[in-house]
Amino acid sequence: MIVPVPVRDPQADGLPMFSYGVLRLLGLTLTLLAASIVVFVVLEVLPGDPAQVMLGINAQPDTLEALRAELGLNAPALTRYLEWVTGMFRGDFGISYTYDVPVAELLAERAWVSLPLAVIALTLSTALAFPIGIMAARFRGRALDTGIMGLTQIGIAIPNFWFAILLVYVFAIVLRLVPSGGFPGWDAGFFTALQALILPAIALALPQAAILARVMRSALIDVMSEDYIRTARAKGLSARVTLWRHGVRNALIPVLTILGLQFSFLIAGTVIIENVFYLPGLGRLIFQAITQRDLMTVKSGVMVLVALVVAITFIVDLAYAAVDPRLRRGR
């Protein structure tokens, strides 16, 4: 599921940081444009008529035709594509076929669940993974390391939906500490809303933390065998200071790559967890829209997710530069 992406090496072009950023931005815009074409074409060839889905099996042909006209489904494909794309540039994401409200409104509502959930889960997984990974690397080969590696193996192997069901059973049914699911909305109070997100965040965070801890450990072990670490020790730095100042910092690049991928996953790929906890998140919105052939919501929703993922990639690229001073100086 998580494939480590080779770290791009922008300094090969010898460009300063600013033009590097501009070039990346240009590439990202082209990515978005290509994605919009793919999304549109896929939905064009997808079998199923939105009008028939909405009106069911007793609908008469003239009724279907009336609805298709109302939804603007009869215009040529190119016209509809251009209207859609130019609309998005103006911030108009279209009207949902089934809900009959602006798609932007739907997405915004859902983002208020999905984004906080992703942030909480990512914070949790990072807070767990960093110390665990560093400890494992520090006590490499000893009992603690073996124990941690065993636990993370289990963490990766357990499917997160199953873990989620288990959490619901223990904390919602047996102990009744938290609701079994649902989301009351932030206007119900910060703590009430937070309470609804705790179990899903844990269910999402643990497998991610297991992966992240393993990446942290192996990256750190790699770094610690480098020559400059020996040099640092030789000039008199303690093992502890060497580990933190030179080890962890240099191990961050692969960890950042994985973090970026995990954040993208947490925003777009949590539909199963959203189902278990019946949370109104972005993943479920799009899943539901696909089965109901609410093509406008699918198209615009997928594009927003693509844009988010692209933005995260961009931020991760910038973070590389922040971690690696050589990139900052544009050498």
C-alpha closest to that of 279 among 203, 206, 200: 200
* Strand, coil or helix: 102: strand
For other proteins, which is the closer residue by CB, 102 or 330?
Answer: 102
For other proteins, which is the closer residue by CB, 33 or 166?
Answer: 166
252: number of Cβ within 10 Å: 21
For other proteins, which is the closer residue by CB, 41 or 177?
Answer: 177
For other proteins, which is the closer residue by CB, 94 or 254?
Answer: 94
> Distance between CA 75 and CA 271 in Å, rounded?
33
Question: Whole-number minimum distance, CB 302 to other proteins, in Å?
Answer: 17
For other proteins, which is the closer residue by CB, 251 or 304?
Answer: 304
Question: Whole-number minimum distance, CB 46 to other proteins, in Å?
Answer: 8
Question: Whole-number minimum distance, CB 126 to other proteins, in Å?
Answer: 19
Question: Whole-number minimum distance, CB 110 to other proteins, in Å?
Answer: 7
Question: Whole-number minimum distance, CB 197 to other proteins, in Å?
Answer: 11
Question: Whole-number minimum distance, CB 128 to other proteins, in Å?
Answer: 16
| b/e code 208-238 from CB counts within 10 Å (16+ = b) | bbbbbbbbbbebbbebbeeeebeebeeeebe
* Strand, coil or helix: 95: strand
Question: Whole-number minimum distance, CB 170 to other proteins, in Å?
Answer: 8
DSSP string, 32-65: HHHHHHHHHHHHHHS---HHHHHH-TT--HHHHH
* CA 284 from centre of chain: 14
For other proteins, which is the closer residue by CB, 127 or 311?
Answer: 127
> Distance between CA 28 and CA 33 in Å, rounded?
9
> Distance between CA 301 and CA 18 in Å, rounded?
31
For other proteins, which is the closer residue by CB, 143 or 175?
Answer: 175
**Residues forming the site for other proteins (CB under 8 A):** 47-50, 52-60, 62-63, 66-67, 70, 98-101, 106, 109-110, 165, 168-183, 185, 191-192, 194-195, 198, 275-281, 284-285, 288, 291-294
